[in-house]
Structure 1
Amino acid sequence: MQNVDLSSALRTGKVQLGFSSTVPHGFVDLVDLTSIAMKIMNDPAAHNLARYEFVSENVSYDEITRMISDLSGRQVKCDVIPAKDFLSMMNAGGEIKNEFAEDAILRMMVYYDRWGLIGNPNVLKWLLGRQPTTWEAYLRRELPKFTS
């Protein structure tokens, strides 16, 4: 969830994407992820060789910007730009370090555009022992930091 820059979204009214804003993606709050990491580190034998899919909720970026708008009172929309233009922005910002990374990011955006990146939230729920943080709960916790 923290990869959506709330400060920028509220300031500009946009969440810029290089892929479709309507396709669902699976998200996880880093606070939930930290809780799981602590459990694993405290009992490594119980998790030996385990692989986990961590997803709290599958939602589209359009749904996320709608929630940001509703909860902040500020209009925020997705700004979908061609993948190559998005990649150029990342290059200009120094976020891409080499040709391999550039190719991987471009391929990832094509994948996201077609299929999104969804997962099953049950594993996270089981490991947390509670419901994972939803986007609405995350925004209710985080938005006051940017709107006060």
Structure 2
Amino acid sequence: MSESEAVRSREQPLIAVIGAAGLCGTYVLEAALRAPFRVRAVVHGPSGRERVAALGVDDIVEADLEEPDAVRQALMNADFVFMIPPAFHPEEDVLAIRALEAAEHEGARRFVYLSVLHPHTPELRHHLRKANAEAAVRASRLNWTVLQPSMFAQIVLSTWGRAPAGHVNVPFDVHNEFSFIDLRDLGEVAVKVLSERGHDSATYELAGPALTLAEAVRFAGRARGVDLEARTVDWADAPLPPGVADSASRASDMRAMWQGYDRHGLRGNSNVLRMLLGREPASFEEAAVAFAARS
């Protein structure tokens, strides 16, 4: 290592982002790359490596989260760890705890866990697994922060917002309200809690502005210059997306989520997100316009 590299290493902490290649992970990476960090992307395989390399990440490690040795090696020399668990994984809490233990073993200073809004929701089993992981994080000797985001605006935009003009089938009541968070705001908060003091032992609910799914789909269409109209279909009969349909556990969890959304939506309060950002959170319409331009 050259003298200049040694100075850079001392001045800039290394953040390892687990789950870096997913939809959320790419936004977190983009925010981290603009911050005073050295960034390591921890991905599952070659396709993830290609995705994060395209963002300009040089330090990329492939690791199977089910292999403790691989996770420890992926976190070697990391100062901070940002954990994005795999969605709907039947052992999501086990994998998160394994990453936490690896961070402790490798001497990381801070662990940030990406949970979900309202994790203690009995009918949502994938939420309860996040609650289990949160309990382990809070018992850790590391400095920790738990982030509990509401539904990602970009999930709606990528799932229903890309549809051809016309009716869009949604497997829950489209007139229920949801709080949406723009992943650009989530990435900004991620960098903030990692780079600033004062966020240790904090659990933050991150809920963006609320609107109905029907309104969100209309905004998604307008951003693309097409008319989209969401309509409710039976959650029990709706087709499951690839990667979920071939897993009995994931399929059951997703249908349970749709059923919960059909009953009461998913709403939160924006005060904490507003406080952390120091401004108003992005609206769904703003997220839709940015997503259309990005796509």
TM-score for both structures, normalised by structure 2: 0.44
Q: CA shift at 1:57, angstroms?
A: 0.7
User: Do the aligned partners of 1:4 and 1:15 also contact (CA within 8 Å) in 2?
Assistant: no
Q: CA shift at 1:62, angstroms?
A: 0.8
1:35 is paired with a residue whose SS is helix
User: Do the aligned partners of 2:157 and 2:291 also contact (CA within 8 Å) in 1?
Assistant: no
Which one of 40, 43, 46 corresponds to residue 198 of structure 2? 46
| Superposed counterparts of 1:24-103, under 5 Å | 24-43=177-196, 46-86=198-238, 89-90=239-240, 93-96=242-245, 98-103=247-252
Partner of 1:111: 260
Q: 1:35 to 1:20 in 2, by over 3 A?
A: same
Q: 1:41 to 1:68 in 2, by over 3 A?
A: same
Would you say 1:5 and 2:157 are equivalent positions? yes
Partner of 2:281: 132
Residue ranges of structure 1 left out of the alignment (5+ in a row): none
Q: Which has the higher contact order (CA 8 A, sep 6+)?
A: 1
Would you say 1:143 and 2:269 are equivalent positions? no
Partners of 1:140 and 1:67 in 2: how far apart? 9
2:237 is paired with a residue whose SS is helix
Partners of 2:221 and 2:163 in 1: how far apart? 12
RMSD: 2.3
Partners of 1:76 and 1:114 in 2: how far apart? 23
Q: CA shift at 1:66, angstroms?
A: 2.5
Which one of 171, 187, 203 corresponds to residue 18 of structure 1? 171
Q: CA shift at 1:127, angstroms?
A: 0.5
User: Do the aligned partners of 2:208 and 2:281 also contact (CA within 8 Å) in 1?
Assistant: yes
Partners of 2:175 and 2:208 in 1: how far apart? 18
Q: 1:127 to 1:104 in 2, by over 3 A?
A: same
Partners of 2:168 and 2:158 in 1: how far apart? 9
Q: CA shift at 1:98, angstroms?
A: 3.1
User: Do the aligned partners of 2:177 and 2:210 also contact (CA within 8 Å) in 1?
Assistant: yes
Letter in 1 for 2:214: D
More strand, by proportion: 2
The percentage of counterpart residues that share the same residue type is 26
Partners of 1:68 and 1:105 in 2: how far apart? 23
1:12 is paired with a residue whose SS is coil
More helix, by proportion: 1
TM-score for both structures, normalised by structure 1: 0.82
User: Do the aligned partners of 1:10 and 1:74 also contact (CA within 8 Å) in 2?
Assistant: no
